[in-house]
A and B are shown apart, each in its own frame.
Chain A
Amino acid sequence: MIVAARNNPRFRTAGLAGVLAGVLLAGGCTSGGGPEPDGQAPGSPSTSAAPAKGLQVKLVTMAKVPPGGPSATRAARQAAPGLERFLDRYLTAAFVRAAGGEAGWDGLIGLFDKPVRASARKQLDALSLGADAPKVSAVRPSRASARAVVLYGERRPAAATVRLAFDGTADTAQGSGQVHLRSVLQLLATGEGWRIAAFDSRTGPPK
């Protein structure tokens, strides 16, 4: 009999309809309450409905130090917070704050070294949300990771190569979609802090 029920489309449909009805019924029971003002039920774990997760770049740093300088391990540890802050600023300007297109790009362009700013401004689509920014209402980061090789001068970081990966979800009026960045950034320590002196970057679906 069990075999017959399985093979009979009528019974299968009835079973699926029952499950569906049950799911709809149960769903109706749980969706009655509205969200908390912060968009998250009290005591519940963080969910995709929660406010955008804070951007946190996971950074792995290596250092190349001069003879007689600090140890490579110590130098890498010293350099990491500043680099992390810089990459955070970059991704915030390029994606999180760029959403809506109202912030403009001056903040992002200011993170580039002067001799490469004009090139960066012409190639924003490969470095940020770019021309898509106006149609995006929010970007929710899901992954930001970087590997850095830092070159020390006598006592402080002088230059660095950073491989940066960023993935997130962008919300638009038509729906949500993925945004991606994969970049190699050559950084230079200037009086104003780290600046991007050269780049090789792409956005869109990762290869």
Chain B
Amino acid sequence: MRRGLTWVAALALVAALAAGLVVAASPRRPATAQDAPAVTVQRAHAASATPTLKRRVVLLTIGSDAGAPKFGRGGAMESGRADALQLVVIDTVKRRGSILSFPRDSYVPIPGYGTNKINAAMAFGGPRLLVATFEQLTGLTIDYYALTSFDGLTDIVNKVGKVQVNVDMNLRDAFAGAFLDKGKRNLTGGQALAYARARKTLPGGDFDRSRHQGQLLQGGLATFQRQVAEDPAKVMTWLGVIRDEVRTDLPFPELVRLALLATDVPASGVKNIAVPSVAGNAGGASVVRLLPGAYSLFGRLRAGKLS
């Protein structure tokens, strides 16, 4: 028993010496607040924000039938005919919007060029004249335009990795190369272009086509939002694609702010509205005439409404 106690005492002494050596070898530490007990300094907080822009932004999106070498269409995009025409109105405060789809054959006054199909305005005087035509027609101030071509649309869709679109009818249009079944579809660039161009076999012809073009924009917005929710750096991917494939008078900082704002505008809050119109005839050419309902719609938009 006595030997046991001696052994334990010896062990304790060795341990004490060892511990003392360890402490002695440690750097000297002055007493500081960090020696104080650990406390909870910070509680959990979360927040997010996108830019707050002026109340309403009006953007004219234009699809040109020129400047697409991959599709055998030469010339400059800006001097082609505007075959896809959507007026995008975004209420940045309510985070809602409207896409007004105009038939390309809408027969309207073009400043300095009499009355003609609206798609001819760009061929007459570039995007600026087309914007002036729209401003005169609707009474709305158009802030910016964004112009692309067949090549641009297909490249945009392929580079961002398909766009999900709610295809609203079964399509078998050999002229446009559109073979799609009704329902939610992830469209490649070629399919997206075909959906935007198909007209001849559709019951509503040009009216259906312009509605489909609006659906593509809606699908693009939803796809953008879904991708950015998964990976916020996708904003840079989309901006890079737009930088390369779209001509616009939007200054780049404004484009970035709008893109960031767009992450916060629910796709379900953006209506696709076909401007009320009817097929007609002018000088032997088939045209589309806007109905009184179109002008009422423009009036409501001028008053700050979205539809």
Contact = CB atoms under 8 A, between A and B. Distances in A.
Interface centre among B1, B49, B244, B260 (most CB of A within 10 A): B49
A48 B36 CA distance: 13
B76 interface: no
A22 B34 contact: no
B47 A127 contact: yes
A23 B45 contact: no
A176 B39 CA distance: 6
A159 interface: yes
Contacts of A27: 20, 23
How big is the A interface, by class?
35 or more
A186 B244 CA distance: 20
B38 A26 contact: no
Nearest to A64: B240
Contact of A201 (B5, B8, B46): B46
Contacts of B50: 116, 198
Interface in A26-57: 26-27, 29-31, 33-35, 39-41, 44-45, 47-49
A189 to B, nearest CB: 8
Interface string B44-87: 11111111110000000000000000000000000000000000
A176 B34 contact: yes
Given A66-B244, A184-B232, A119 B52 contact: yes
Interface in B12-26: 12-13, 15-17, 19-21, 23-24, 26
Contact of B29 (A45, A49, A186): A49
A71 interface: no
Nearest to B52: A115
B11 interface: yes
A161 B46 contact: no
B237 A64 contact: yes
A16 to B, nearest CB: 8
Interface of B: 1, 3-5, 7-9, 11-13, 15-17, 19-21, 23-24, 26-30, 32-34, 36-53, 232-233, 235-237, 239-240, 243-244, 252-253, 256-257, 260, 263
6 contacts: A11-B5, A27-B23, A66-B240, A163-B233, A198-B49, A198-B51
